[in-house]
Structure 1
Amino acid sequence: MNGSVLISGASIAGPALAYWLGRHGFRPTVVELAPALRNGGQAVDFRGDTHLAVLERMGLLPELRQMQTGGSPIRFVDESGRTLLHLPAEFAGGAIEVLRGDLAQVLYERSLPHTEYVFGDSITSLTETPSGVLVDFQRGPSHEFDLVIGADGLHSNVRHLAFGPEKEYVSHLGYYAATWQLPNYLGLDRDSVGYNAPGRLASVGGDHRDPARAGAFFVFAAPELSYDRHDPEQQKHLITNAFSGLGWEVPRLLDSLRQAPDLYFDSISRADVDAWSAGRMCLVGDAACGATLGGMGTGTAVVAAYVLAGELARAKDDHRAAFTRYESRLRQYAKGCQAGGDRTGKFLAPATATGIRARNSLLSRPLVLNWMLKLGERVSSSVALPDYSTKPGRVSW
């Protein structure tokens, strides 16, 4: 065999894994449904020694520090705009915060010398053979690979094809989140301002690149809804209904939603997969153990990509041993990070007025705020990183 690995997904986990596989001498191919890399998107952060150690081993720290946003402080206000709670930039931004699109571009460029990228295509079937996995594609010809890795997020296509329907692995956590772009009519800098009603958060923050632009971020509590994930007009209707009748800047923000061409809308959910591999197929990042928000998914994905590639290189032609060691090293760590996502909706949009007041009161205390920041660093650094140092060269399968 020639060490060919197909990776589904070109967001964060996929290019990070491709980079490390290339370093170890594999021949990775990344297939991505989108026609090109996805630009923009929300900011993502890294925190704690483990995240930073992997970025350092990739040689990315200097570049990411140059493009970091510096974080975004947020003020929670009442209907009249009076500040009730102020959270500093490092609360959400961690040690390094960058825009998701910028991070994806950097990882793509670093992985490109050893990786083939196929955009605008998707896997339609996976059939394990004695020598590999036969993969059928929506557009391209069928091809056999030694291994297939699902790095395609919470709604993973590889997980669906190789492990089973999404409903068996993804749990709704009671909330939905939406983001879209709009003119910066409030004249915000890089800060954000948010307004709560029971079970709802409406917020808006200045764009880190274009001072004329801003980004809306809405969260609301709801039971699991039935809707078309590919129909933005239906999603806009759901958001408008959830926030109808609220004051502050909500009516103007909803007006901007009607014209928004770039809506992101999804449930706040969690993925739990009993085993991260099946035969020659394996999951990494959110596909294996993700949370929509607050689960340190970006940092976990980069760490998991490093460990999975390292274990595959160390195991040489024994992918089963590599997958077992990869999961054994990271499962508890990933679940510990993921657990933060269970609380995200309740934190951002407490269900009652009493809950909103209690959150504001607690986080106004410096000791509580510092404790939460340190807890996040401890959780994100709670795994020892193996040393997979190797000279570049081809892996023998």
Structure 2
Amino acid sequence: MTKNVLISGASIAGPALAFWLGRLGFRPTVVELAPALRQGGQAVDFRGETHLTVLERMGLLPALRDLQTGGSPMRFVDERGRTLLQLPAEFAGGEMEVLRGDLAAVLYEHSLPRTEYVFGDSITNLTETPSGVRVDFQRGVSRDFDLVIGADGLHSNVRRLAFGPEEDYVSHLGYYAATWRLPNDLGLAKGSVGYRGSVGYNVPGRLASVGVDHRDPAQAGAFFAFASPELSYDRHDLDQQKRLIDDAFSGLGWEVPRLLASLRQAPDLYFDSISRADVHTWSTGRVCLVGDAACGATIGGMGSGTAVVAAYVLAGELARARGDHRTAFTRYESRLRKYAKGCQAGGDRTGKFLAPGTATGIRLRNALLSRPLFLNGMLKLGERVSSTVTLPDHPAALSTSAGDPGHVGR
């Protein structure tokens, strides 16, 4: 029976899959390019029965509820700071919202007893053999595994090595997004923004927003989004990325000049296109993709919820097929492809929602979302889309003892 499984990526999908594989008798190894778990990051949300059922079966709901942000209300203002639109916390935060770094840490801790983690390394080559996959690493010695799973995000290294170049699978959706941390010296306070929310300013094709850190009111986080054709830049050159952002927002009013000044001093930065991954089949030979690597959208595609659902289903199908990876991969994709594509579709609208391309578009968004019936309809749509798959029961997973730290409950 297939036992040794290498997973690339230690964000969400990777540790979630390692958790279930360990419970089901496999020996997972997770390799991660970063030297340690990534801290902080943007908030991610879970919504609907399917997401919460998987978290409950993992026994993670109590820990995540202790870490939840309480949601992220959003307020849009004009250049003078006057409110144009106010959105409730559940609009972006779903039924449970946590920081990406907090979620990754919980998944890591619960998977660690049965998982080998290798940080600061990356896969450089995959060679399939009659009995497995020979894996070469940037730093470590070559090793043999029964299966390799790419859980390494929209810019998946495993997908590139096993399936082909990124441009064959990732489509630019017309926008870029950036986030960075800054001191809260803009006068943001509970009365004006709310410790749990953000305030944003639009001009056509651009959004500049900032919110107070929900844990530390002395800190804030900036989020910028702007429309643009696909750009050519070095993903490892922060100074170049900062210049692209500065050029896109130069000359705008409101708090934009002060936020751009903080960007120049920011020690770290997240900057990426808003894009979508479309892979015609999620597996090839002994290599399979899960999470954003298979069907991701940068923002708005319910990526974290889909990742934990996909990890649960993939691990269960491998156990059910008793290690027959061809059968397991086929069943996994058959169960989830339609569901994942439906969730992913929300990412196609994200850029246009955040930064409509015209002044008329901005006014129309604000007017529609100011109507309770329209807003409630959008919230219910998100819950329905996230719950359109029936979760299989995997007896080996559901029989975990109550005393185990990874207790699986219903």
Q: Same fold (TM over 0.5)?
A: yes
> Which residue of the partner structure matches residue 116 of structure 1?
116
> Which residue of the partner structure matches residue 90 of structure 1?
90
TM-score normalised to structure 2 length: 0.95
What is the letter of the counterpart of residue 174 of structure 1? G
> Which residue of the partner structure matches residue 6 of structure 2?
6
- Tell me, what secondary structure is at the counterpart of 2:196? coil
What is the letter of the counterpart of residue 353 of structure 2? F
> Which residue of the partner structure matches residue 63 of structure 2?
63
Q: 1:61: how far off? A: 0.8
What value does the CA root-mean-square deviation take over the aligned residues? 1.0
Q: 1:338: how far off? A: 0.1
Task: Find the aligned partners of 1:317 and 1:8 in 2 and give their Cα distance.
Answer: 19
Q: 1:187: how far off? A: 2.4
Task: Find the aligned partners of 2:132 and 2:216 in 1 and give their Cα distance.
Answer: 47
Task: Find the aligned partners of 2:277 and 2:179 in 1 and give their Cα distance.
Answer: 21
> Which residue of the partner structure matches residue 188 of structure 2?
187
Task: Find the aligned partners of 2:29 and 2:259 in 1 and give their Cα distance.
Answer: 41
Does the 8 A contact of 1:24 with 1:392 survive in 2? no
Task: Find the aligned partners of 1:284 and 1:13 in 2 and give their Cα distance.
Answer: 7
> Which residue of the partner structure matches residue 235 of structure 1?
241
Does the 8 A contact of 2:316 with 2:394 survive in 1? yes
Task: Find the aligned partners of 2:312 and 2:212 in 1 and give their Cα distance.
Answer: 34
1:355 equivalent to 2:361? Answer yes
Does the 8 A contact of 2:2 with 2:322 survive in 1? no
Does the 8 A contact of 1:273 with 1:288 survive in 2? yes
Q: Greater shift after overlay, 282-291 or 382-391?
A: 382-391
May I ask how many residue pairs the two structures share in their alignment? Answer: 393
Paired residues for 1:293-372 under 5 Å: 293-372=299-378
Does the 8 A contact of 1:25 with 1:392 survive in 2? no
Q: 1:392: how far off? A: 6.5
- After TM superposition, where is structure 1 displaced by more than 6 Å over at least 4 residues in a row? none
> Which residue of the partner structure matches residue 130 of structure 2?
130
1:374 to 377, 380, 383: 380
Q: 1:317: how far off? A: 2.8
1:254 equivalent to 2:255? Answer no
What is the letter of the counterpart of residue 153 of structure 2? G
* Percent pairwise identity: 83
> Which residue of the partner structure matches residue 54 of structure 2?
54
TM-score normalised to structure 1 length: 0.98
Q: 1:2: how far off? A: 5.5
Structure 1 unaligned spans of 5+: none
What is the letter of the counterpart of residue 187 of structure 1? L
Structure 2 unaligned spans of 5+: 190-194, 402-410
Q: 1:208: how far off? A: 1.6
> Which residue of the partner structure matches residue 408 of structure 2?
none
Task: Find the aligned partners of 2:97 and 2:299 in 1 and give their Cα distance.
Answer: 15
1:204 equivalent to 2:210? Answer yes
What is the letter of the counterpart of residue 351 of structure 1? G
